Amino acid sequence: MVFVTDVPTDTPLPILVSVRGDSPTSSPVARVELDLSKFHNGRWAVQLDATFSRGDAPVVILARGVACLAIAWWAQLSPRSYLRSVRGAVFDSPLAADMSQVAVAAAIRSGPAYRLPFPSIVVNDASFRIEEVLHLADKWGSRFVEKGGASAGQPSNRNGRFTEAEDGLLAYLDVLDRKVLAPQSHAAQHAEVPVLAPQD
């Protein structure tokens, strides 16, 4: 299990949250694997509490598929003090689930649907359940980004200009896709990647 410590840094540390049963990743990014097999016992939420509430080092949560839904549920119900280190989240294909995850995905989708207490972006293929994904992004207050594209080409109330925090999250797309280890590499190539600030 990963514990966020008080490492002095201005650039948020990416932490990949996955679900047991997801495809293995060779990414050197810190990782938390959630066991959602007994979703209603809440042990997965305790894992997230332990990971994110213990330190002050800034982090960005990276998640794919069902892990996105679990992170959103947790963030909406957790005390704000547990989220003080979270500067944002990048959610990739939040409605994608393999056959072993269909039941838990349905249970999680019936959970709370409020604006997340930190900036976030939802990345999704425009041809995969796009209306549902846009609806979810809107409920979470997330910016939609078309996978492989630079901006949303679909109708959504998030089509305005990106905020500075959302721009900063875009640097983590390459981390999620395992193209770079951390956004510092991206920053070296693209001069001004904004540092994500805590949200009040």
21-36 pLDDT per residue, tens: 777 666 678 888 888 8
What is residue 198's predicted lDDT score, i.e. its pLDDT? 37
In sequence order, the β-bridge partners of residue 92 are: 64, 123
Residue 65 has pLDDT above 80, yes or no: yes
Rounded CA-CA distance 174/187 in Å is: 11
Question: To which residue do tokens 């960005």 refer?
Answer: 60
**Inter-residue contact 141 to 113 (CB < 8 Å):** no
Confidence (pTM): 0.77
Which of 58, 64, 67 has its CA nearest to residue 35? 67
pLDDT in tens, 124-180: 887 777 888 888 888 899 988 887 654 444 445 455 667 788 878 888 887 776 654
Q: What are phi and psi of 105, to 5 degrees?
A: -65, -40
What residue ranges define each of the domains in the chain, with the CATH number in brackets?
13-189 (3.40.50)
Rounded CA-CA distance 156/131 in Å is: 9
